[in-house]
Amino acid sequence: MMNREDYVKQIPDYQYMRETVKKDENRLHFHLMPPTGWMNDPNGLCEFQGINHIYFQYTPFLAGWGTKLWGHYTTTDWIHFQECEPFLFPDCGWDRDGVYSGSAFVDGDKIHYFYTGNVKLQDKDYDYILEGREQNTIHLVSEDGVHAGEKQLVMTNSDYPADMSKHVRDPKIFAKNGRYYMVQGARDCESKGCVLLFESEDLMTWKYFDRIAPEEKFGYMWECPDYFKVEGHPVFAFSPQGIEAEEYRFANIYQSGYLADVRLPDTSQIRDIYKKFREWDLGFDFYAPQTLEAPDGRRILFGWAGVSDSPYDNEPSIREGWQHSMTVPRELSWKGGILCQKPVRELEALRKDEIVFEQGEAEIHGGAFDLVAERDIAGEIPVCICFNQELQITYGHGVVSMGFLNNTGSGRTIRKAKLDGLQNVRILMDVSLMEVYFNDGELVMTTRYYPEDPMTTKVSISGMEQVKGWTMAGQ
Protein backbone atom coordinates (compact mmCIF):
# COMPACT_ATOMS: atom_id res chain seq x y z
CA MET A 1 0.00 0.00 0.00
CA MET A 2 0.98 3.63 -0.45
CA ASN A 3 -1.16 6.57 0.61
CA ARG A 4 -0.59 10.22 -0.20
CA GLU A 5 1.29 10.82 3.04
CA ASP A 6 3.65 7.89 2.34
CA TYR A 7 4.31 9.28 -1.14
CA VAL A 8 5.11 12.77 0.18
CA LYS A 9 7.46 11.37 2.83
CA GLN A 10 9.49 9.49 0.20
CA ILE A 11 9.96 12.46 -2.13
CA PRO A 12 13.06 13.89 -0.34
CA ASP A 13 14.77 10.49 -0.47
CA TYR A 14 14.26 10.33 -4.22
CA GLN A 15 14.96 13.94 -5.13
CA TYR A 16 18.19 12.74 -6.73
CA MET A 17 16.06 10.81 -9.26
CA ARG A 18 14.35 13.97 -10.43
CA GLU A 19 17.66 15.76 -10.83
CA THR A 20 19.20 12.82 -12.69
CA VAL A 21 16.19 12.52 -14.98
CA LYS A 22 16.31 16.23 -15.86
CA LYS A 23 19.90 15.86 -17.08
CA ASP A 24 19.28 12.80 -19.27
CA GLU A 25 20.05 13.57 -22.89
CA ASN A 26 17.36 11.07 -23.97
CA ARG A 27 14.49 12.98 -22.35
CA LEU A 28 11.73 13.97 -24.76
CA HIS A 29 10.74 17.50 -25.79
CA PHE A 30 7.05 17.27 -26.68
CA HIS A 31 5.83 13.89 -25.43
CA LEU A 32 4.38 13.15 -21.99
CA MET A 33 6.83 11.23 -19.79
CA PRO A 34 6.90 10.21 -16.13
CA PRO A 35 8.53 12.92 -14.01
CA THR A 36 10.57 10.05 -12.58
CA GLY A 37 10.19 6.31 -12.58
CA TRP A 38 7.84 4.30 -14.76
CA MET A 39 4.84 5.16 -16.95
CA ASN A 40 2.42 2.84 -18.70
CA ASP A 41 -1.28 2.88 -19.71
CA PRO A 42 -3.13 6.18 -20.23
CA ASN A 43 -6.09 6.27 -17.84
CA GLY A 44 -9.17 8.39 -17.17
CA LEU A 45 -8.91 10.56 -20.28
CA CYS A 46 -11.59 13.24 -20.20
CA GLU A 47 -12.40 16.87 -20.87
CA PHE A 48 -14.02 18.73 -17.98
CA GLN A 49 -14.85 22.43 -17.80
CA GLY A 50 -12.37 23.31 -20.52
CA ILE A 51 -9.47 21.25 -19.16
CA ASN A 52 -8.25 17.97 -20.65
CA HIS A 53 -7.13 15.44 -18.04
CA ILE A 54 -4.61 12.72 -18.80
CA TYR A 55 -4.00 10.22 -16.01
CA PHE A 56 -1.57 7.35 -16.31
CA GLN A 57 -0.17 4.27 -14.62
CA TYR A 58 2.76 5.51 -12.58
CA THR A 59 5.50 4.06 -10.38
CA PRO A 60 7.30 7.23 -9.22
CA PHE A 61 10.33 5.80 -7.41
CA LEU A 62 11.25 2.90 -9.67
CA ALA A 63 12.01 2.84 -13.41
CA GLY A 64 10.48 -0.63 -13.65
CA TRP A 65 7.31 -2.52 -12.82
CA GLY A 66 6.10 -1.71 -9.31
CA THR A 67 3.11 -0.61 -7.24
CA LYS A 68 0.95 1.65 -9.39
CA LEU A 69 -0.45 5.08 -8.72
CA TRP A 70 -2.36 7.31 -11.12
CA GLY A 71 -0.12 10.13 -12.29
CA HIS A 72 -1.77 13.21 -13.76
CA TYR A 73 -1.24 15.84 -16.45
CA THR A 74 -3.61 18.52 -17.73
CA THR A 75 -3.69 20.59 -20.90
CA THR A 76 -5.92 23.13 -22.58
CA ASP A 77 -4.17 23.21 -25.94
CA TRP A 78 -2.63 19.70 -26.47
CA ILE A 79 0.93 21.04 -26.62
CA HIS A 80 1.51 22.54 -23.17
CA PHE A 81 1.00 20.12 -20.29
CA GLN A 82 0.87 20.82 -16.57
CA GLU A 83 2.23 18.22 -14.17
CA CYS A 84 -0.17 17.65 -11.27
CA GLU A 85 0.11 15.68 -8.06
CA PRO A 86 -0.76 11.98 -8.36
CA PHE A 87 -4.52 11.48 -8.41
CA LEU A 88 -5.00 7.98 -6.99
CA PHE A 89 -3.02 5.93 -4.51
CA PRO A 90 -3.24 2.24 -3.48
CA ASP A 91 -4.35 3.19 0.00
CA CYS A 92 -7.12 0.76 0.95
CA GLY A 93 -7.74 -2.97 1.16
CA TRP A 94 -9.46 -3.03 -2.25
CA ASP A 95 -6.42 -1.75 -4.17
CA ARG A 96 -3.48 -2.31 -1.84
CA ASP A 97 -1.24 -3.77 -4.59
CA GLY A 98 -1.93 -1.10 -7.16
CA VAL A 99 -4.53 1.19 -8.70
CA TYR A 100 -4.72 -0.42 -12.11
CA SER A 101 -6.18 0.97 -15.32
CA GLY A 102 -9.56 2.58 -15.65
CA SER A 103 -11.51 5.45 -17.13
CA ALA A 104 -13.46 8.62 -16.50
CA PHE A 105 -17.06 9.41 -17.38
CA VAL A 106 -18.29 13.00 -17.23
CA ASP A 107 -21.90 13.30 -16.08
CA GLY A 108 -23.07 16.88 -15.62
CA ASP A 109 -20.89 18.70 -13.09
CA LYS A 110 -19.07 15.59 -11.87
CA ILE A 111 -16.48 13.15 -13.15
CA HIS A 112 -17.07 9.50 -12.34
CA TYR A 113 -13.94 7.34 -12.26
CA PHE A 114 -13.83 3.57 -12.47
CA TYR A 115 -10.66 1.54 -12.10
CA THR A 116 -9.35 -1.88 -11.12
CA GLY A 117 -7.99 -2.34 -7.64
CA ASN A 118 -5.34 -5.05 -7.60
CA VAL A 119 -4.87 -7.33 -4.59
CA LYS A 120 -2.49 -10.28 -4.40
CA LEU A 121 -2.98 -12.70 -1.54
CA GLN A 122 0.31 -13.55 0.19
CA ASP A 123 -0.57 -16.24 2.70
CA LYS A 124 0.72 -19.04 0.41
CA ASP A 125 1.91 -19.72 -3.12
CA TYR A 126 -0.87 -19.19 -5.67
CA ASP A 127 -1.56 -19.62 -9.32
CA TYR A 128 -2.40 -15.95 -9.86
CA ILE A 129 -4.38 -16.70 -12.98
CA LEU A 130 -7.06 -18.83 -11.34
CA GLU A 131 -6.66 -17.98 -7.67
CA GLY A 132 -4.93 -15.76 -5.14
CA ARG A 133 -5.86 -12.45 -6.73
CA GLU A 134 -8.64 -9.90 -6.35
CA GLN A 135 -9.56 -7.62 -9.24
CA ASN A 136 -11.94 -5.12 -7.66
CA THR A 137 -13.91 -2.58 -9.66
CA ILE A 138 -13.83 0.70 -7.74
CA HIS A 139 -15.80 3.89 -8.30
CA LEU A 140 -15.20 7.43 -7.08
CA VAL A 141 -16.41 10.92 -7.96
CA SER A 142 -14.53 14.18 -8.38
CA GLU A 143 -15.88 17.70 -8.83
CA ASP A 144 -12.68 19.10 -10.34
CA GLY A 145 -10.53 16.24 -11.69
CA VAL A 146 -7.86 17.05 -9.11
CA HIS A 147 -9.32 15.93 -5.79
CA ALA A 148 -10.61 12.38 -5.59
CA GLY A 149 -13.72 11.55 -3.63
CA GLU A 150 -14.38 8.52 -1.46
CA LYS A 151 -13.72 5.12 -3.04
CA GLN A 152 -16.71 2.80 -3.42
CA LEU A 153 -16.47 -0.90 -4.21
CA VAL A 154 -18.96 -1.75 -6.96
CA MET A 155 -17.83 -5.22 -8.10
CA THR A 156 -15.51 -8.02 -7.02
CA ASN A 157 -14.53 -11.29 -8.66
CA SER A 158 -17.70 -12.88 -7.28
CA ASP A 159 -19.75 -10.48 -9.45
CA TYR A 160 -18.13 -11.62 -12.69
CA PRO A 161 -19.28 -14.76 -14.54
CA ALA A 162 -18.36 -17.99 -12.76
CA ASP A 163 -16.11 -19.19 -15.61
CA MET A 164 -13.80 -16.18 -15.38
CA SER A 165 -10.24 -16.37 -14.15
CA LYS A 166 -8.99 -13.82 -11.62
CA HIS A 167 -8.08 -11.48 -14.48
CA VAL A 168 -10.93 -9.02 -15.06
CA ARG A 169 -9.90 -5.37 -15.33
CA ASP A 170 -9.75 -1.97 -17.03
CA PRO A 171 -13.35 -0.67 -16.90
CA LYS A 172 -14.53 1.84 -19.53
CA ILE A 173 -18.01 3.45 -19.44
CA PHE A 174 -20.34 4.57 -22.22
CA ALA A 175 -23.98 5.63 -22.31
CA LYS A 176 -26.66 4.58 -24.77
CA ASN A 177 -30.45 4.93 -24.80
CA GLY A 178 -30.59 6.30 -21.27
CA ARG A 179 -28.52 3.51 -19.73
CA TYR A 180 -24.88 3.15 -18.73
CA TYR A 181 -22.66 0.34 -19.91
CA MET A 182 -19.27 -0.84 -18.74
CA VAL A 183 -16.79 -2.93 -20.71
CA GLN A 184 -14.05 -4.85 -18.86
CA GLY A 185 -11.21 -6.89 -20.29
CA ALA A 186 -11.10 -10.50 -19.17
CA ARG A 187 -9.54 -13.97 -19.35
CA ASP A 188 -11.77 -16.97 -18.79
CA CYS A 189 -10.80 -20.19 -17.03
CA GLU A 190 -9.94 -21.78 -20.37
CA SER A 191 -7.55 -18.90 -21.16
CA LYS A 192 -9.78 -17.43 -23.83
CA GLY A 193 -9.78 -13.64 -24.06
CA CYS A 194 -13.03 -11.69 -24.02
CA VAL A 195 -14.68 -8.48 -22.84
CA LEU A 196 -17.44 -8.47 -20.24
CA LEU A 197 -20.34 -6.05 -20.65
CA PHE A 198 -22.26 -4.69 -17.65
CA GLU A 199 -25.19 -2.28 -17.42
CA SER A 200 -26.41 0.22 -14.84
CA GLU A 201 -29.14 2.80 -14.33
CA ASP A 202 -27.24 4.95 -11.83
CA LEU A 203 -23.47 4.31 -12.26
CA MET A 204 -23.50 2.66 -8.84
CA THR A 205 -25.28 -0.68 -9.16
CA TRP A 206 -24.03 -2.84 -12.00
CA LYS A 207 -25.26 -6.15 -13.36
CA TYR A 208 -23.76 -8.50 -15.88
CA PHE A 209 -25.23 -8.05 -19.37
CA ASP A 210 -23.28 -10.12 -21.91
CA ARG A 211 -19.91 -11.34 -23.11
CA ILE A 212 -18.06 -10.02 -26.15
CA ALA A 213 -16.10 -12.87 -27.68
CA PRO A 214 -15.90 -14.75 -30.98
CA GLU A 215 -16.44 -18.48 -31.18
CA GLU A 216 -12.81 -18.99 -32.11
CA LYS A 217 -10.07 -18.12 -29.61
CA PHE A 218 -8.32 -14.81 -30.25
CA GLY A 219 -5.70 -14.53 -27.54
CA TYR A 220 -5.82 -15.58 -23.89
CA MET A 221 -6.57 -12.12 -22.41
CA TRP A 222 -8.19 -8.93 -23.68
CA GLU A 223 -7.13 -5.71 -21.92
CA CYS A 224 -8.06 -2.03 -21.99
CA PRO A 225 -11.36 -2.09 -23.94
CA ASP A 226 -12.80 1.12 -25.33
CA TYR A 227 -15.98 1.98 -27.22
CA PHE A 228 -16.60 5.22 -29.09
CA LYS A 229 -17.70 6.74 -32.39
CA VAL A 230 -15.71 8.43 -35.15
CA GLU A 231 -17.71 10.27 -37.79
CA GLY A 232 -20.77 8.21 -36.90
CA HIS A 233 -18.99 4.85 -37.04
CA PRO A 234 -18.95 2.87 -33.77
CA VAL A 235 -15.55 1.46 -32.85
CA PHE A 236 -14.79 -1.34 -30.38
CA ALA A 237 -11.12 -1.32 -29.34
CA PHE A 238 -9.16 -3.68 -27.11
CA SER A 239 -5.67 -5.06 -26.50
CA PRO A 240 -5.43 -8.85 -26.87
CA GLN A 241 -2.58 -10.92 -25.48
CA GLY A 242 -1.44 -14.23 -26.88
CA ILE A 243 -1.85 -13.73 -30.64
CA GLU A 244 0.60 -15.72 -32.75
CA ALA A 245 2.98 -13.47 -34.65
CA GLU A 246 2.88 -13.16 -38.44
CA GLU A 247 5.34 -11.52 -40.80
CA TYR A 248 3.19 -8.43 -41.32
CA ARG A 249 0.86 -8.52 -38.29
CA PHE A 250 0.97 -9.22 -34.58
CA ALA A 251 4.76 -8.88 -34.37
CA ASN A 252 4.81 -7.53 -30.81
CA ILE A 253 4.31 -9.72 -27.78
CA TYR A 254 0.95 -7.99 -27.07
CA GLN A 255 -1.34 -6.20 -29.54
CA SER A 256 -3.72 -3.25 -29.62
CA GLY A 257 -6.38 -2.70 -32.25
CA TYR A 258 -10.03 -2.28 -33.08
CA LEU A 259 -13.10 -3.60 -34.86
CA ALA A 260 -15.13 -1.12 -36.88
CA ASP A 261 -18.91 -0.82 -36.99
CA VAL A 262 -19.58 -2.94 -33.89
CA ARG A 263 -22.76 -1.57 -32.32
CA LEU A 264 -22.72 -2.38 -28.63
CA PRO A 265 -24.54 -3.46 -26.52
CA ASP A 266 -25.40 -5.89 -29.34
CA THR A 267 -22.60 -8.48 -29.06
CA SER A 268 -23.73 -10.74 -31.90
CA GLN A 269 -21.59 -8.85 -34.44
CA ILE A 270 -18.24 -10.14 -33.13
CA ARG A 271 -17.47 -12.53 -35.95
CA ASP A 272 -14.48 -13.18 -38.19
CA ILE A 273 -12.45 -11.22 -35.69
CA TYR A 274 -9.13 -12.56 -36.90
CA LYS A 275 -9.67 -11.06 -40.35
CA LYS A 276 -11.31 -7.78 -39.27
CA PHE A 277 -9.12 -6.83 -36.30
CA ARG A 278 -6.84 -3.95 -37.29
CA GLU A 279 -3.83 -2.93 -35.21
CA TRP A 280 -3.43 0.70 -34.26
CA ASP A 281 0.33 0.76 -34.61
CA LEU A 282 2.74 -1.71 -36.24
CA GLY A 283 5.94 -0.41 -34.69
CA PHE A 284 7.82 -1.72 -31.66
CA ASP A 285 6.35 0.46 -28.92
CA PHE A 286 2.60 0.86 -28.65
CA TYR A 287 0.00 -0.60 -26.32
CA ALA A 288 -3.16 0.04 -24.26
CA PRO A 289 -4.52 3.19 -25.96
CA GLN A 290 -7.46 5.15 -24.67
CA THR A 291 -9.56 7.87 -26.30
CA LEU A 292 -11.58 10.92 -25.36
CA GLU A 293 -13.81 13.35 -27.19
CA ALA A 294 -12.41 16.88 -27.42
CA PRO A 295 -14.75 19.90 -27.04
CA ASP A 296 -14.67 20.43 -30.81
CA GLY A 297 -15.87 16.87 -31.44
CA ARG A 298 -12.53 15.34 -32.41
CA ARG A 299 -11.82 11.85 -31.11
CA ILE A 300 -8.31 12.00 -29.57
CA LEU A 301 -6.21 8.91 -28.86
CA PHE A 302 -3.20 8.50 -26.57
CA GLY A 303 -1.20 5.30 -26.62
CA TRP A 304 1.43 4.02 -24.25
CA ALA A 305 4.74 4.11 -26.15
CA GLY A 306 5.83 0.81 -24.67
CA VAL A 307 4.90 -2.87 -24.36
CA SER A 308 5.38 -5.00 -21.25
CA ASP A 309 7.41 -8.22 -21.36
CA SER A 310 9.09 -7.35 -24.69
CA PRO A 311 12.38 -9.03 -25.66
CA TYR A 312 13.92 -5.55 -26.09
CA ASP A 313 14.40 -2.84 -23.46
CA ASN A 314 14.96 0.84 -22.63
CA GLU A 315 18.18 0.47 -20.70
CA PRO A 316 19.55 3.93 -21.70
CA SER A 317 16.64 5.67 -19.92
CA ILE A 318 16.35 3.13 -17.09
CA ARG A 319 19.94 3.95 -16.07
CA GLU A 320 18.85 7.57 -15.65
CA GLY A 321 15.78 6.79 -13.53
CA TRP A 322 12.82 6.79 -15.90
CA GLN A 323 11.10 4.65 -18.52
CA HIS A 324 8.42 5.03 -21.21
CA SER A 325 6.14 7.82 -22.44
CA MET A 326 2.87 8.46 -24.20
CA THR A 327 2.49 8.92 -27.93
CA VAL A 328 1.53 12.38 -29.04
CA PRO A 329 -2.23 12.88 -28.97
CA ARG A 330 -3.63 11.60 -32.27
CA GLU A 331 -6.76 12.70 -34.12
CA LEU A 332 -8.85 9.85 -35.49
CA SER A 333 -10.66 10.07 -38.81
CA TRP A 334 -12.57 7.66 -41.00
CA LYS A 335 -11.24 6.68 -44.43
CA GLY A 336 -12.35 3.79 -46.61
CA GLY A 337 -13.44 1.52 -43.78
CA ILE A 338 -10.43 2.12 -41.52
CA LEU A 339 -9.41 4.65 -38.92
CA CYS A 340 -6.55 6.99 -39.76
CA GLN A 341 -4.39 8.60 -37.08
CA LYS A 342 -2.68 11.97 -37.32
CA PRO A 343 -0.81 14.00 -34.73
CA VAL A 344 -3.19 16.66 -33.42
CA ARG A 345 -2.98 19.74 -35.61
CA GLU A 346 -1.90 21.86 -32.64
CA LEU A 347 1.53 20.22 -32.74
CA GLU A 348 2.37 22.25 -35.83
CA ALA A 349 2.66 25.27 -33.54
CA LEU A 350 5.86 23.70 -32.12
CA ARG A 351 7.61 23.85 -35.50
CA LYS A 352 10.59 26.22 -35.40
CA ASP A 353 13.37 26.46 -37.97
CA GLU A 354 12.90 25.00 -41.42
CA ILE A 355 15.29 22.17 -42.30
CA VAL A 356 17.11 22.53 -45.60
CA PHE A 357 17.65 19.35 -47.60
CA GLU A 358 20.33 19.21 -50.28
CA GLN A 359 20.04 16.28 -52.65
CA GLY A 360 17.87 14.48 -50.14
CA GLU A 361 20.24 14.92 -47.20
CA ALA A 362 20.26 17.11 -44.10
CA GLU A 363 21.96 17.39 -40.73
CA ILE A 364 19.48 18.27 -38.00
CA HIS A 365 20.44 19.60 -34.58
CA GLY A 366 18.47 19.58 -31.35
CA GLY A 367 17.07 16.05 -31.38
CA ALA A 368 13.44 16.95 -32.12
CA PHE A 369 12.02 17.47 -35.60
CA ASP A 370 9.00 17.01 -37.87
CA LEU A 371 9.55 15.71 -41.42
CA VAL A 372 6.93 15.50 -44.18
CA ALA A 373 7.74 13.75 -47.47
CA GLU A 374 5.40 13.33 -50.42
CA ARG A 375 5.59 11.78 -53.86
CA ASP A 376 3.60 11.67 -57.06
CA ILE A 377 5.78 8.98 -58.59
CA ALA A 378 3.90 6.19 -60.29
CA GLY A 379 5.00 2.61 -60.00
CA GLU A 380 7.15 0.91 -57.43
CA ILE A 381 10.19 3.15 -57.08
CA PRO A 382 11.81 2.14 -53.78
CA VAL A 383 11.88 4.56 -50.86
CA CYS A 384 14.63 4.70 -48.26
CA ILE A 385 14.82 7.07 -45.27
CA CYS A 386 17.90 6.58 -43.12
CA PHE A 387 18.84 8.16 -39.79
CA ASN A 388 22.53 8.24 -38.80
CA GLN A 389 23.09 4.92 -40.55
CA GLU A 390 21.36 3.49 -37.47
CA LEU A 391 17.65 3.31 -38.27
CA GLN A 392 16.19 2.76 -41.72
CA ILE A 393 12.64 3.05 -43.06
CA THR A 394 12.01 1.56 -46.49
CA TYR A 395 9.13 0.99 -48.88
CA GLY A 396 8.98 -1.26 -51.92
CA HIS A 397 6.74 -3.91 -53.48
CA GLY A 398 3.88 -3.00 -51.16
CA VAL A 399 5.85 -3.47 -47.94
CA VAL A 400 7.00 -0.90 -45.37
CA SER A 401 9.85 -1.84 -43.07
CA MET A 402 11.39 -0.18 -40.03
CA GLY A 403 14.72 -1.72 -39.10
CA PHE A 404 17.71 -1.00 -36.90
CA LEU A 405 21.19 -1.34 -38.35
CA ASN A 406 23.00 -1.45 -35.01
CA ASN A 407 22.25 -1.59 -31.27
CA THR A 408 20.60 1.84 -31.06
CA GLY A 409 17.26 0.05 -30.91
CA SER A 410 18.25 -1.46 -27.56
CA GLY A 411 17.30 -4.92 -28.84
CA ARG A 412 14.71 -3.83 -31.41
CA THR A 413 15.30 -5.35 -34.84
CA ILE A 414 12.76 -4.98 -37.67
CA ARG A 415 9.04 -4.50 -38.21
CA LYS A 416 7.23 -4.93 -41.53
CA ALA A 417 3.75 -4.01 -42.73
CA LYS A 418 1.71 -4.21 -45.91
CA LEU A 419 0.88 -0.90 -47.60
CA ASP A 420 -0.85 -0.58 -50.95
CA GLY A 421 1.06 2.35 -52.39
CA LEU A 422 2.95 5.14 -50.61
CA GLN A 423 1.84 8.75 -51.14
CA ASN A 424 3.28 10.49 -48.11
CA VAL A 425 5.04 9.94 -44.83
CA ARG A 426 5.32 12.11 -41.74
CA ILE A 427 8.03 11.46 -39.15
CA LEU A 428 7.97 12.91 -35.65
CA MET A 429 11.35 12.46 -33.97
CA ASP A 430 11.62 13.43 -30.32
CA VAL A 431 15.18 12.68 -29.16
CA SER A 432 14.62 8.99 -28.33
CA LEU A 433 11.10 8.34 -29.62
CA MET A 434 9.97 8.22 -33.25
CA GLU A 435 6.42 8.10 -34.63
CA VAL A 436 5.98 7.47 -38.36
CA TYR A 437 2.68 8.13 -40.15
CA PHE A 438 2.19 6.74 -43.67
CA ASN A 439 -0.50 7.97 -46.09
CA ASP A 440 -2.05 10.46 -43.69
CA GLY A 441 -2.07 7.96 -40.85
CA GLU A 442 -3.43 4.94 -42.69
CA LEU A 443 -0.47 3.06 -41.19
CA VAL A 444 1.54 4.10 -38.12
CA MET A 445 4.78 2.80 -36.61
CA THR A 446 6.20 3.91 -33.26
CA THR A 447 9.58 3.00 -31.82
CA ARG A 448 12.08 3.98 -29.16
CA TYR A 449 15.43 4.86 -30.70
CA TYR A 450 18.56 5.75 -28.74
CA PRO A 451 20.96 7.47 -31.17
CA GLU A 452 24.63 7.52 -30.36
CA ASP A 453 24.37 11.31 -30.58
CA PRO A 454 20.77 12.32 -29.69
CA MET A 455 21.35 15.98 -30.54
CA THR A 456 22.65 15.47 -34.11
CA THR A 457 20.72 13.53 -36.74
CA LYS A 458 21.96 12.93 -40.27
CA VAL A 459 19.00 12.12 -42.51
CA SER A 460 19.06 10.83 -46.07
CA ILE A 461 15.88 10.38 -48.14
CA SER A 462 15.51 8.78 -51.55
CA GLY A 463 12.43 7.93 -53.60
CA MET A 464 10.37 10.90 -52.38
CA GLU A 465 9.85 14.00 -54.49
CA GLN A 466 8.99 16.66 -51.92
CA VAL A 467 10.57 16.85 -48.48
CA LYS A 468 9.92 19.48 -45.83
CA GLY A 469 11.05 19.59 -42.25
CA TRP A 470 11.21 21.69 -39.13
CA THR A 471 13.00 21.49 -35.82
CA MET A 472 10.56 21.22 -32.92
CA ALA A 473 10.34 23.19 -29.71
CA GLY A 474 9.62 21.55 -26.39
CA GLN A 475 6.35 22.04 -24.57
SS (H, E, C) 402-461: EEECCHHHCCCCEEEEECCCCCEEEEEEECCEEEEEECCCCEEEEEECCCCCCCEEEEEE
Neighbours of 323 (CB within 10 A): 25
In sequence order, the β-bridge partners of residue 104 are 113
The reply to whether 77 belongs to the active site is no
Neighbours of 13 (CB within 10 A): 9
Q: Which residues contact 319 (CB under 8 A, 6 or more apart)?
A: none
- Given a contact cutoff of 8 angstroms between Cβ atoms, the answer to whether 145 and 53 are in contact is yes
Point out the catalytic residue in the list 41, 91, 170, 370.
41
Instruction: Please give the Cα distance from 424 to 340 (Å, whole number).
Output: 13
- Given a contact cutoff of 8 angstroms between Cβ atoms, the answer to whether 369 and 471 are in contact is yes
Of 402, 102, 444, the closest CA to residue 279 belongs to: 444
Element (H, E) at 259: strand 257-260
Looking at residue 356, the DSSP 8-state letter turns out to be: P
Length of the chain counted residue by residue? 475
Burial call 79-106: b when 16+ CB within 10 Å, e when fewer: bebeeeebbbbbbbebbbbbbbbbbbbb
Return the active site residues. Answer: 41
